[in-house]
Amino acid sequence: MITASHAARLSPPGPDWRTLWREAVTDPAELLALVGLEHLADRLPADDAGFSVRVPRGFVARMRHGDERDPLLLQVLPQLAELQQVDGFGTDAVGDMDARSAQGVLHKYDGRALLIASGSCAINCRYCFRRHFPYGDEMAAAGRWRKALEHVRQDGSIRELLLSGGDPLALATAKLEELSQGLAELPHVIRLRIHTRLPVVLPERVDEGFQRWLAELPLQKVVVLHVNHANEFDAGVDAACARLREAGATLLNQSVLLRGVNDDADTLAALSERMFAAGVLPYYLHQLDRVQGSAHFEVDDARARALVEALRDRLPGYLVPKLVREVGGEGSKRPV
pLDDT of residue 4: 40
Contact 129, 79 (CB under 8 A): no
pLDDT of residue 330: 78
Q: Exposed (0-12), middle (13-18) or buried (19+): which is 238, by Cβ within 10 Å?
A: middle
Burial of 272 (0-12, 13-18, 19+ CB in 10 A): buried
User: What pLDDT, on the 0 to 100 scale, is given for residue 96?
Assistant: 80
CA geometry: angle 225, 226, 229, nearest 5 deg? 125
Tell me whether residue 22 is exposed, middle or buried, using C-beta atoms within 10 angstroms of its C-beta: 0 to 12, 13 to 18, 19 or more: exposed
Q: Quick check: helix, strand or coil at residue 135?
A: helix
Question: β-strand 100-102 against 105-106: which pairing, if any?
Answer: antiparallel
Predicted local distance difference test score (pLDDT) of residue 12: 46
Q: Closest Cα partner for 183 from 209, 157, 144?
A: 144
| Residue whose C-alpha is closest to residue 272's, from 225, 333, 336 | 225
Q: Does 241 carry a binding-site annotation? A: no
Give the span between the Cα atoms of 105 and 11, in whole angstroms: 33
128 known ligand binder: yes
* Residues with pLDDT less than 50, the chain: 1-5, 7-12
**How deeply is 328 buried, as exposed, middle or buried, from its count of CB atoms within 10 A (0-12, 13-18, 19+)?**
middle
Where does 97-335 sit in CATH, by number?
3.20.20.70
Domain ranges of the chain: 4-83, 97-335
pLDDT of residue 137: 72
Q: Which residues pair with 161 in a beta bridge?
A: 113, 192
pTM, to two decimals: 0.93
CA distances from 292 to 20, 36, 295 (A): 30, 29, 7
pLDDT at residue 329 in the model: 76
Q: What is the rounded distance in angstroms from the CA atom of residue 297 to the CA atom of residue 244?
A: 31
